[in-house]
Structure 1
Amino acid sequence: MTVTAPRSERPTRTGRLARLVDSDPFNLAIAGVIVVNAIVLGLETFPTVMASYADQLILANNICYGIFVVELVLRFASYGRRPQDFFTSGWNVFDLIIIAGVWIPGVRENATLLRLLRLGRIARLLRFLPDARVLIATVWRSIPPLMSIVVLTLLILFIYGMVGWALFGEALPASWGTVTRAMLTLFILLTLENFPTYLEEALTVTPWATVYFVSYVLVAAFVIFNLLIGIIIGSMESAREREALREAKESGITGDAVARIHDIREALDALEADVQILRERDAGARE
């Protein structure tokens, strides 16, 4: 597992302290403490374990918290004469909220908020996983186009819900008695769960149920899911390109060079595909 500090933090920091907090051993050690903290939190959910080792678990949790505080102080100090740059990193702000949040008045007295903050420490593990950061960026960038998919899905559910209410509403009121019930039934069918059951019930009402359900599955389940997958894949590719471009800029590589490298990779992929096709044709000719 590769553990690295977020690249966005590095340009404004120099010196031994910055090299320390950006080093792989330091980040690997912090990631290990986060894992230990997660294990401790998990053990606290077992009443028998808490009955026997409550003091030890509380001590372990406090030690982990102390290490996180020291880490946060070191990261803040690593910015030297530009401490304001510490807040330009979203991960730094997140760490500050999670670690210092327990000292906000009222938080310590609220067991639910305190547990959420402690769980937030586990989420800090994502900070040290580059691939996880790409996935987070993918989800974030997928939100705007996903809104269009949501609107399209609601429109399809409403149209098919009205048709389903007209066809099966009187005979099957539990599932199709109102447009909202029909839309809920159709939403469940998006996962194809209980599809045979709903189809068999509907066929007792009208033979057109087959056309209705098959067309809905083709339009909603397959088309919408494929669009959703396409959006996520496109967003992931965009996130990876942005991550590569940012790393290249920090390494002194220009944007044009990155673009050329990307074009070369695409050309190599196309060449490999052509070679594979030629091999398959050659194997077929020999047979």
Structure 2
Amino acid sequence: MISNDTLQSRFNQLRTNKAFELFVVGIIIFSALVIGAKTYDIPPLISNAIVITDWFITIFFLVEITIRFLGEPRKRDFFKSGWNIFDTTIVVVSLIPIEDSELALVGRLVRVFRVLRMVSIIPELRTLLISLLKALPQLGYVALMMFIIFYIYAAIGSMFFASVNEELWGDIAISMLTLFRIMTFEDWTDVMYETMTDYPFSWVFYVTFIFLSAFAFLNMIIGIVVNVLDEQHRKERQEEGEPTLRELQNELRELKDLVRQSSRPRTPQE
């Protein structure tokens, strides 16, 4: 008879197996395709087949969560991970038969969020998301500064260009939407040339705004995210026991001291 420790070890080997992880990722992608197929106008027969397929996918996810739970050495630690709680919630809610009820829309939304399970399965995606969340406080200050720049330029645009085009510069809110369009380079030259008919030097307004928003602040955002991502990778390497650069430098210094001491000529007293 197989002991509990042996079963736990086998389940642990299965859940950490790369082939099993790739298979789970494949099922998640297939689940996303099934969800997308439901948005088309398809014959009833195919629609019923998709519903049955969706239930098989849900049962597979339930089995996969069970395997991951049984493979955990300490079962209480399984729910200490936010990713495990998220995955379990998505699977459990998907099991509730609410297709023909008032909560059918909720059921469809939950199935859409099953695609996010790829983040919990693939460590690289998990690292990206964690880095992005950690960068949000710093990005908040950049966003605040961008809002100030937007507000100033929107006020100036409303004052000068409202007489040129009321639909684009009528008030400060519409002006901010127009500036967002300019920042994304969506036909911004048409907006500029329109105002240049009355204000020939209005190009300075657009060029300086684009430089501040699209170039300066965008590069700041990229720099913050890349810096936080690098720190997250360094932290993960330390948690995995991989030596840091400083530790390697200290070990190299100790080796140099040992070599220097061993190569030093000894005196007769020694």
- Which residue of 164, 173, 187 corresponds with 2:180? 187
1:226 aligns with 2:219: yes
**Is the 8 Å Cα contact of residues 58 and 94 (structure 2) preserved in structure 1?**
no
- Check whether the contact 1:101–1:117 (CA below 8 A) recurs between aligned residues: yes
Match of 1:30 in 2: 24
How far apart are residue 262 of structure 1 and its match? 8.2
Contact (CA 8 Å) 1:76, 1:83: kept in 2 or not? yes
Tell me what 1:96 maps to.
88
In structure 2, the CA distance between the partners of 1:166 and 1:98, relative to structure 1 (3 Å rule), is same
Residue 57 (1) aligns with residue 50 (2): yes
TM-score by length of 2: 0.80
**8 Å contact kept, 2:98–2:104:** no
Partner of 2:263: none
Report deviation, 1:102.
Answer: 3.4
Contact 1:102 1:108 in 2 (8 A): no
Query: Offset of 1:71 from its aligned partner?
Result: 1.5
Task: Report the CA distance shift for 1:59/1:74 in structure 2 as closer, same or farther (over 3 A).
Answer: same
Is the counterpart of residue 258 in structure 1 residue 252 in structure 2? Answer: no
Query: Residue 126 of structure 1 contacts residue 132 of structure 1 at CA under 8 Å; is this kept in 2?
Result: yes
TM-score, structure 1 normalization: 0.75
User: Contact 2:184 / 2:214 at 8 angstroms: preserved in 1?
Assistant: yes
CA change 1:211–1:58 in 2 (3 A) is closer
Aligned length: 242
Percentage of identical aligned residues = 27
Task: Please state whether the residue corresponding to 2:79 is helix, strand or coil.
Answer: helix
Deviation at 1:209, TM superposition (A): 0.7
Q: Give the greater-gyration-radius structure (CA).
A: 2
The Cα shift of 1:85 comes to: 0.8
CA distance in 2, matches of 1:171, 1:263: 65
Letter in 2 for 1:23: N
Query: After the TM superposition, which residues 26-175 of structure 1 pair with which residues of structure 2 at under 5 Å, given as runs?
Result: 26-48=20-42, 50-80=43-73, 82-102=74-94, 109=101, 110-175=103-168
* CA displacement, residues 39-97 of structure 1 (integer Å, 9 cap, x when unaligned): 3223333323x4332333222222221111111122222235x3211111122101111
**Which runs of structure 1 show a deviation greater than 3 angstroms over 4 or more consecutive aligned residues?**
102-108, 259-264
Pick closer, same or farther for the CA change 1:183–1:47 going to 2, 3 Å. Answer: closer
Counterpart residue number, 2:13: 19
In the alignment, the residues of structure 2 paired with residue 159 and residue 202 of structure 1 have an alpha-carbon distance, to the nearest angstrom, of: 18
Helix, strand or coil at the partner of 1:131 = helix
**Gaps (5+ residues) in structure 2?**
1-7, 251-270
Q: Structure 1 residues 151, 65: CA separation in 2 closer, same or farther (over 3 Å shift)?
A: same
How far residue 178 of structure 1 moved from its aligned partner, in angstroms, is: 1.7
For each residue in 1:223-242, what CA deviation from the matched residue of structure 2 results, as whole angstroms up to 9, or x when unmatched?
A: 11111121121122122222
- Could you tell me which runs of 5 or more consecutive residues in structure 1 were left unpaired when the two chains were aligned: 1-13, 265-287
Q: Partners in 2 of 1:172 and 1:44 — Cα distance?
A: 43
